[in-house]
Structure 1
Amino acid sequence: NGCACLVVVLVFGGGLGGITYFGYQYYQNRYGTAPDYAGDGNSQTVSVEIPKGAGGADIGRKLKEAGVVKSVDAFISAFTNNDGDKIQAGAYILKKEMSAASAVDMMLDPKSQANVMVTPGQRNVVVYKNIDDKLGLAAGTTRGIAEKEFKTLGLPAWANSDTEIKDPLEGFLYPGTYAAAKGMKPTAVLKSMVERADEAYAKYDLDAKARSLSLENPLQLITVASLVQAEGKTHDDFRKMAEVVYNRLKPTNTETNQLLQFDSTFNYLKGESKIHISESEINSNPDPYNTYTQKGLPPGPIGNPGAEALAAALKPTSDGWIYFVATDGQNKTEFAKTYAQFQKLKEKFNQNAGN
């Protein structure tokens, strides 16, 4: 009858409409263009942190969640076609509602990166300042937090074993690039640096290695690495420099009588970086970090050593080196096994320095 026909038509029509809709969706999902914004985004900015090892899909999901791109698929397409694999881990300041291609371009532009870098040998005071600058904080903010909260930042149990350490985090802000954008907390940035140090140091049995090198604990091993990093001018110097440290620490050392006599430790306690330091200034300072007046290692690291300096501290040369001089005053370090050889290197340095 007429009613039955109408119901059939409606059901058939509805079914056809459903089939058409889902068919269209299937086509769009499989063959159509992924939803995307147009242009370079609006006036709103957002900070997005990209973890190490993130691929195109991972980055796309983070950007979509932050409102930067409209769809993950659109970002993956742009990522694949526009050198997206060159995007590095770190924090980025991006605009909301950007086209996927614009987002990739912006992430490849160093100006959009909101990161802080720790370079091998860099002292913590410099790192703290850089974090303050990146986060838009008043000078001294990060340093103050580090001094008060260092025990909560994930340091290994063997850290801070000397009560005379000037900065408990020295040697534990591992060289690398870290996210640091306005709105982040200094503790988060510091924790990521300490976590990276923990991972790097955990690769070695530092307890056993320290004992094999006649050191008291792993902290002393990191301290040696920091000295190697500070005094070595080139990577080729590092293993020789490590041997100089160990040879001077030996009880049998009658050349310097367990005095390291490193300018770098004196510069550290003064917060300076001088090459020429007067003997009267050095010899009158009894600070524990002054290795001209105090025997043995300083209480703790004097900077943040990199992987190569640590490797050298773990495996020094065994050639008998005990003296060294930066004979050109800058980049060339020469080593000696006797005091007589050392004197000749000093003469060479004085000639180059015009003394």
Structure 2
Amino acid sequence: MTEYGRGSGSEPWHPADPLYGDQGWGGQQQYPQQAQAPYGHQAPYGQGQEQGYDPQYQQQQPHAPQQYNDPSYADPSYGGQQEQYGQQEQYAQPEQYAQQGQGYDTPGYPAQQYDPSWETGQAAMPYGTTPADPYGGQNPDLYGTPEAYPPPQPPGRRQEPPEPVSDWETEAEEEERHPFFTGENGDDEHDDDPAGSRSSRGGRDRRGKGKNKKKSKNGVACLVVALVLVGGVGGIGYFGYQFWQGQFGAAPDYAGDGSGSVQVEIPKGVGGYEIGNILKRNGVVKSVDAFVSAQEKNPKGRQIQAGVYTLKKEMSAESAVKLMLSPASQANFVIPEGKRNVWVYEQIDKKLGVKPGTTQGVAKAQAKNLGLPAWANGRANLKDPLEGFLFPASYPVAKGQKPEDVLRKMVARSNEEYGKFELEDKAKQLGVDSPWELITIASLVQAEGTSHDDFRKMAEVVYNRLKPGNPQTYGKLEFDSTYNYIKGQSKIDLTLEELRKYDNLYNTYYYRGLPPGPIGNPGAEALQGVVNPTSDGWYYFISLDGKTSKFTKTNADHDKLVQEFNKSRNN
């Protein structure tokens, strides 16, 4: 028996009923203290809701009149209906239950009889009899057929209908069942079971698949995590190894002093790593790190200069550094300050191993194509158009190079150094025509002077003598160096008769003003003295010992120094 003395099951209930699944469960919490209001005498809406009571229910259901004892149901005009409708339902006391004749299962009171219509809305029927059709035959009873609806669920257990599954979710589900994702080999673990046994264990098979899916997903996740960890550990290990190699490991290196011979040119302004790369490309050292390490260990390693070096193949880095610091390996060609181009051409021919006169012939034939500045082109009556533009410095000159390439580098270096002095602006300030005149004056000062102080005073001597109205030389420079240049010599024992009789534009004893061009290659110090001369009134100078010079402002003072020089020569 069920609660309230009902039978073993509930009455059939069609889902088309508006209160399908609600009213029956609301009856589980009926309060016995509340009296059952007869049909048509219900309480106003809002009362009794906590007992599951719905005032609209009675109006919606077509109950048979004979199922109720309320006279108002059979006769809508019953006068007592209007009178009792507005009466508020009160909780009945025990004595009221006795008066109403309702039985309640409480000591001292008559037992209340259970009315099935409380939950089903149907008239009470004898126990054990076939239930009548609550719908009057209008609707068939579907509970006795295979298509019967499931029994109603309590409100607290009801679930929303499952949402429709989209196609892509279905495809994803099928894809996950593929052996590639589930980790299965495509064979069922129950293949050895008899036919039909798999369907008999359908529920367990589904659970097994779910477990396999979870296991496969967990396995894939673990695999991904493992790969990430392995990759991270591998990366850390690689960089750790590289760090260890850089800090403690020995770089690849050759052994011994090497063999054969190779010439390597090191450009200006490069550091240890650049030098190491050049040596490695030429097969001298095995690795850049080995050379840099050897250079840092050598106390003089930082003194490696730009130039051409004659080295050997496959040398140890230590041997390469030592050889580059030795003058024996250096193939650089150094031009001293004041040297004439004739001397430079001869040395280049020797370094390149070419026939004497080759470089000088290239200089005269290709002077316009070697990079001279615009203000140096088109000059007439020049002995050498490149004179003054082979700047004194160190140059890489070795066999296999072309003379024009070597000359082009020297001219480029001259342009670079001259550009630092802003010669065009200085020429205007000093009263000369162009930078060409300044380079020519610098070559004269370089040839006659011996120190920086000499350069500044000699530059003033030149500027003072160039003035046409000067009372000392009347516009003549009278420099012995200009005569020696045109003669191709370097004598100091020259007579005034010899100097003043030689007719040549370079002879400043014969012609006023500057010579047609420079007479040598001045250095930066001489050029600095030219652009920043003294202003003390010097006109004359003489060197008594060949190392220092003495300056005077008058010819009489100069003659005294000349007599002193001649006396020292005769002793």
**TM-score, normalised by the number of residues in structure 2:** 0.57
CA distance in 2, matches of 1:337, 1:319: 9
Residues 1:326 and 1:28: Cα distance change in structure 2 (over 3 Å): closer
- 1:54 partner letter: V
1:58 aligns with 2:283: no
- Aligned pairs (5 A) from 1:242-257: 242-257=459-474
CA distance in 1, matches of 2:364, 2:312: 36
2:369 to 152, 170, 191: 152
- Aligned pairs (5 A) from 1:1-355: 26=242, 28=245, 31-43=248-260, 45-82=261-298, 83-328=300-545, 330-354=546-570
The answer to whether the 8 A contact 1:161-1:219 is kept is no
Residues 1:321 and 1:23: Cα distance change in structure 2 (over 3 Å): closer
The answer to whether the 8 A contact 1:154-1:191 is kept is yes
CA distance in 2, matches of 1:279, 1:255: 16
Query: What is the SS of the residue equivalent to 1:273?
Result: coil
CA distance in 2, matches of 1:348, 1:292: 23
CA distance in 1, matches of 2:484, 2:449: 15
The answer to whether the 8 A contact 1:87-1:107 is kept is yes
Residues 1:285 and 1:23: Cα distance change in structure 2 (over 3 Å): closer
- 2:569 partner letter: A
Query: What is the SS of the residue equivalent to 2:256?
Result: coil
The percentage of aligned residue pairs carrying the same residue is: 57
The answer to whether the 8 A contact 2:452-2:529 is kept is no
The answer to whether the 8 A contact 1:153-1:194 is kept is yes
* 1:3 equivalent in structure 2: none
CA distance in 1, matches of 2:378, 2:510: 22
- 2:266 partner letter: I
Cα offsets for 1:193-234 (capped at 9, x unmatched):
111111111112212211221211111100000100001123
How far off is 1:32 after superposition? 2.1
How far off is 1:30 after superposition? 5.7
CA distance in 1, matches of 2:460, 2:246: 64
- 1:351 partner letter: K
How far off is 1:307 after superposition? 0.8
How far off is 1:22 after superposition? 5.8
- 1:262 partner letter: F
CA distance in 1, matches of 2:328, 2:364: 31
Query: What is the SS of the residue equivalent to 2:536?
Result: coil
* 2:131 equivalent in structure 1: none
Larger gyration radius, structure 1 or structure 2: 2
How far off is 1:23 after superposition? 8.1
The answer to whether the 8 A contact 1:115-1:134 is kept is no
Aligned pair count? Answer: 342
CA distance in 2, matches of 1:115, 1:313: 29
Cα offsets for 1:165-193 (capped at 9, x unmatched):
11111111111111011111122221121
The answer to whether the 8 A contact 2:541-2:550 is kept is yes
CA distance in 2, matches of 1:230, 1:114: 27
Cα offsets for 1:40-72 (capped at 9, x unmatched):
0112x1111111111110100000011100010
More deviation, 221-230/199-208: 199-208
Residues 1:23 and 1:200: Cα distance change in structure 2 (over 3 Å): closer
Query: What is the SS of the residue equivalent to 1:202?
Result: helix
How far off is 1:235 after superposition? 2.6
Cα offsets for 1:245-301 (capped at 9, x unmatched):
010001221211111000000000011000011333222211100000011000101
- 1:114 partner letter: A
How far off is 1:162 after superposition? 2.6
The answer to whether the 8 A contact 2:442-2:530 is kept is yes
Gaps of 5+ in 1: 1-11
Query: What is the SS of the residue equivalent to 2:471?
Result: coil
* 1:5 equivalent in structure 2: none
How far off is 1:315 after superposition? 0.9
CA RMSD of aligned residues (A): 2.3
How far off is 1:119 after superposition? 0.8
Residues 1:320 and 1:37: Cα distance change in structure 2 (over 3 Å): same
CA distance in 2, matches of 1:208, 1:30: 55
* 1:7 equivalent in structure 2: none
Residues 1:221 and 1:84: Cα distance change in structure 2 (over 3 Å): same
The answer to whether the 8 A contact 2:307-2:330 is kept is yes
Cα offsets for 1:310-343 (capped at 9, x unmatched):
0111011100000111223x12311110111111
The answer to whether the 8 A contact 1:160-1:219 is kept is no
How far off is 1:149 after superposition? 1.1
CA distance in 2, matches of 1:321, 1:279: 21
Give the structure, 1 or 2, with the largest relative contact order (CA under 8 Å, sep 6 or more).
Answer: 1
The answer to whether the 8 A contact 2:304-2:324 is kept is yes
Query: What is the SS of the residue equivalent to 1:320?
Result: coil
Query: What is the SS of the residue equivalent to 1:290?
Result: coil
- 1:332 partner letter: T
More deviation, 31-40/222-231: 31-40
* 1:8 equivalent in structure 2: none
